[in-house]
Amino acid sequence: MSLYHTARTFKLPESKARCTYCSTEYMRVEGQYSICPLCESIVATGEKSPLDPALLSKLAGIKVSITKGSYLEAAENAETLATSQDPKVLYALASLYKLLSDITYLDVDYSLKAFMERNADNKNNETKRNKHNAMHLESRNRECLHKCIEILELSGASDEQSIFIKAMAEIKLKRYAHATIILSKQPDKGLALMYANMVLATDSKEKTAEKRITALLKAGETSAIFYAAKYLAMRKEFDNAERLIDIISAFVNLPKYGIYKKKISSVAQAAGV
């Protein structure tokens, strides 16, 4: 069975989950921890956030601001969290920065209304300013990931969550060789490490990608549909990739998927498909 077909016929798990970091709601397999489709944090089954309530509401607030289009508010709140020394917070925050940066870069016309209001005196440079803002947000994303790795290395933590975060942060920084070393020292058993290996294989175009995405889909991991779409898009199967994004958007309502669809169609257009 092709990866596209497996993803298209994915049976949606019936248990509702709420990310204990960014508060995104999604479906997951009953009794099993899962990976948040937005910030890609490990969400335990108990659903009680390991974070201090004030921290959690700040992180969740950034996601809410992004969802309702208040990007300046989101960016300002993110700044107040970037000083955190908690790798779990920095890791989740990095994903929110990345989303903000993608929105800013791809949605030049409207996404930065809030940024532009602040700079209303210089309207002619809006496009340039948006690109500048996108680069600033992207560099914030990278700073959070670097800091996260540094803190985890200093602490020497070797629990599953710490290894997962460290490997994922390396992958997001495109330092695939580092991620490979971290993951190769771990037995490939738990869901989180299976997930990190899947992301590494997809992003670094390893041969095992298809097999790893299929395994995660079979384990009922909703976020794997996104990687199936990414894998297909990277192989220039743009129509099928877009169809999978439509499927996942129907049950996980996240700006991330709209942005990704835009990315796929702009690459498809450039490729003349």
Alpha-carbon distances of 210 from 51, 125, 164, 236, 240, rounded to whole Å: 35, 44, 20, 15, 15
Q: Which one of the spans 39-47, 160-168, 190-198, 204-212 is the region binding Zn ion (CB under 5 A)? A: 39-47
Which of 38, 264 has the CB closer to Zn ion? 38
Q: Residues 129 to 188: which contact Zn ion by CB under 5 A?
A: none
**Total binding residues toward Zn ion, as defined by CB under 5 A:** 7
Q: Tell me: does residue 38 bind Zn ion (CB under 5 A).
A: yes
Minimum distance from residue 68 beta carbon to Zn ion (Å) = 17
Identify which range of 32-40, 51-59, 181-189, 261-269 contacts Zn ion by CB under 5 A. Answer: 32-40
Q: Does 17 bind Zn ion (CB under 5 A)?
A: no
> Residues 7, 36, 144, 248: which binds Zn ion (CB under 5 A)?
36
Distance CA 181, CA 66 (A): 35
Question: Residue 69, Cβ neighbours under 10 Å: how many?
Answer: 15
CA distance 155 to 152: 5
Work out whether 74 is an interface residue with Zn ion (CB under 5 A).
Answer: no
Separation between Cα atoms, residue 249 and residue 240, nearest integer Å: 14
Nearest to 215 by CA among 204, 234, 232, 202: 202
Q: Is 19 in the site for Zn ion (CB under 5 A)?
A: yes
Is residue 21 part of the contact set for Zn ion (CB under 5 A)? yes
Question: Of these, 39, 193, 225, 254, which contacts Zn ion (CB under 5 A)?
Answer: 39
Give the span between the Cα atoms of 198 and 71, in whole angstroms: 31
Using CB under 5 A, which of the segments 14-22, 48-56, 149-157, 214-222 binds Zn ion?
14-22
Structure tokens at 153: 């290395």
Q: Residue 3 or residue 93: which is nearer to Zn ion going by CB?
A: 93
Residue 8 sits at the vertex; the CA angle it makes with 7 and 12, to the nearest 5 degrees, is: 80
Amino acid at 22: C
Among 22, 66, 78, 116, binds Zn ion (CB under 5 A): 22
Q: Beta strand 42-43 with 34-35: parallel, antiparallel or unpaired?
A: antiparallel
Give residues in contact with Zn ion (CB under 5 A): 19, 21-22, 24, 36, 38-39
